[in-house]
Amino acid sequence: MLGDEFNTSGVTDGDNKRKNRHDIENRLVILESDLRKFLAQRETLTMQERRARKEESRIQIEIEDKVSQLKKLEFEIQELERQIQKLKKELNVL
């Protein structure tokens, strides 16, 4: 071929350029595929994180509600115990 110079192995510079181009294109395809895979994983993890944070908020509200209920219940228990003691004292007086 005109303009192609042969190296010592008989391969032309044009053949080397085509091979290098092909190798680079293959690597590019692989890297782009890996990137798409990682982007999809990131999107999945982001959604899972959002769901977990919402669940965490819901659980925190539920915990606060249970603590409030327990405080009210403790108050009621103490009040009933106080009334029971008062009535027992009245019985002893009689």
- 32-43 per-position pLDDT tens digit: 999 999 999 999
What 3-state class would DSSP assign to 7? coil
Copy the structure tokens of residue 11. 């391969």
- 47-89 per-position pLDDT tens digit: 999 999 999 999 999 999 999 999 999 999 999 999 999 999 9
Q: pTM (2 decimals)?
A: 0.58
Q: What's the pLDDT score for residue 70?
A: 98
pLDDT over threshold 50, residue 22: yes
What 3-state class would DSSP assign to 81? helix
Where does the pLDDT of residue 94 fall: very low under 50, low under 70, confident under 90, or very high at 90 and above?
Answer: confident
DSSP 10-57: S-BHHHHHHHHHHHHHHHHHHHHHHHHHHHHHHHHHHHHHHHHHHHHH
Q: What's the pLDDT score for residue 10?
A: 62
Where does the pLDDT of residue 8 fall: very low under 50, low under 70, confident under 90, or very high at 90 and above?
Answer: low
* CA-based nearest residue to 44, from 36, 54, 34, 56: 36
